[in-house]
Amino acid sequence: MLWALGVSAFAVQIAAVPMAVHLWRRGRVRFPRGFGLWVLFLVCSGLGILVLGVDPMGTVPDSFAGRLPAFVVRQSQYVATTVVLLYVGNLSEKELPVRRILWSLSVFFSYVVIGGLLGLFWPNGGFPSLLEIVLPRSVTSVPYVWHLVHPTFAQVQEFEEAAVARPAAPFAYTNIWGSTIALLGIWFVLHGASSRSRRAQMGTALWAMVGLAAVIYSLNRGVWLGIMICVVYAVGAFLRRGRIAPLLAVAGVTMVAVVLIVASPLKQVIDTRAENGKSDSIRAFTTERALDLATASPLVGFGGTRSAVGSPSSIAIGKSPECKNCGNIPIGINGYLWTLLVTTGFGGTLLFFSFWASQLWHSRGDRSAVASAARLTVVVSVFFAFFYTLDPLLPSVALGLLWRGQKARRGRRGAPL
């Protein structure tokens, strides 16, 4: 629904409003251990407003007002994810059962899979959203805004001199689609595996295979590696616990997936994508420039991303029919890590991931399946941060569940919360 309305980019902020109201009315809001790190990060990122108007050497000049909207959106997202974390962590099992969370994430997974299938079978599909219709043409004509408010099913990009449809719905970009479906898949599999119905378990496996096929056709190499990390993590967890049946199930599903890939056109898709990394040189260039900007303002960054003057080839080269990738490449959008470095500097980035690490450390004694899935979500999110823009909703839910598990264990030991 939010996607059709053209406000899916603000889904977390919208969802956080009723959550915040509920927490306020409920009272007794508590905070996880190590939350001070996150508060310091919020302060650090907020101070970025002081340097929004600064134009570092080698970047395209812009005004404070021109960069302010993106800054406000980013800050509101940080606040919203904080609310999600506190909401999931503060509510009891009776108020918000884990089973309900798993079901909601599984529905979200199916929604994203359907969006991926639409992108594969109807790549040029799209429609004007309600917000797009309401906004003035002068606003929607901006490419960034148009991508946010105009629902499309796929990003059609040139690959090997041919147009290739890469699934994106219900998101604006295929990379966000890929990272999100991989993280949601963790919870979808957990929800299906925890069912006592063999039919439900079989349906989970089949639908996961459909999602895997869509992921392969999306040509997201980082997502492929992320899924491999998930499989290795699951195998290691089952081995440590001596659980043979789930281990055999994972091995069986993996073997079936490999056979289907080898015996289908999917293998050719994988081989072709692995041998051709047209975006690698651009990523290397933007990564180097992101590190340069973080070094120039290590404590608070620059509050927002910047665009490089010229291109990886030369500062004098602009965009042209012969070089569509040339000209004023945005710095800090080739991965969440690099966005943090440019917008909050080394200081903010360190605080951000230190908070995540602290929650992993405090939950190390929780061996439950939910805690394992939550830790895997955080670990894979860190991996994706090197390559993709992340939807912060899922890591926040995972951290909230880890914190809830900590409180439950401490309560059983009779320790104060």
| pLDDT score at 411 | 62
Task: Give the alpha-carbon dihedral of 313, 385, 37, 361, to 10 degrees.
Answer: -140
The amino acid present at 80, given as its one-letter code, is A
Q: What is the mean pLDDT of residues 91-103?
A: 95
Q: Are strands 306-307 and 330-331 parallel, antiparallel or unpaired?
A: antiparallel
| pLDDT score at 279 | 60
Instruction: Render pLDDT for 296-325 as a digit per residue (tens, 0 to 9).
Output: 999 999 999 898 886 554 444 455 555 555
3-class secondary-structure state, position 268: helix
The amino acid present at 322, given as its one-letter code, is E
Rounded Cα gap, residues 411 and 404, in angstroms: 10
Q: Taken in order 248, 251, 254, 255, is the CA torsion positive or negative?
A: negative
Site of tokens 């963790």: 186
State the DSSP string of 305-359.
-EEBSS-SS-TT---BTTBTT-S-PEES-S-HHHHHHHHHHHHHHHHHHHHHHHH
Contact predicate 286/305, CB 8 Å: no
249 pLDDT above the threshold of 90: no
Q: What is the mean pLDDT of residues 192-208?
A: 86
| pLDDT score at 417 | 33
Q: 117 falls in which pLDDT band (50, 70, 90)?
A: very high
- Our CA angle for 22, 26, 27, nearest 5°, is 120
* Sequence-ordered list of residues with C-beta below 8 angstroms from that of 170, at least 6 positions apart, any chain: 3, 8, 111, 112, 115, 151
Q: Taken in order 348, 101, 251, 375, is the CA torsion positive or negative?
A: positive
Percentage of the chain lying above the pLDDT 70 cut: 82
Q: What is the mean pLDDT of residues 347-351?
A: 97
| pLDDT score at 269 | 58
| pLDDT score at 275 | 57
3-class secondary-structure state, position 384: helix
| pLDDT score at 110 | 96
Of 64-78, 224-238, 276-290, the range with the lowest mean pLDDT is 276-290
3-class secondary-structure state, position 289: helix
| pLDDT score at 156 | 80
* Sequence-ordered list of residues with C-beta below 8 angstroms from that of 115, at least 6 positions apart, any chain: 153, 167, 168, 169, 170, 171, 177
pTM given for the model? 0.87
| pLDDT score at 137 | 85
Rounded Cα gap, residues 337 and 355, in angstroms: 14
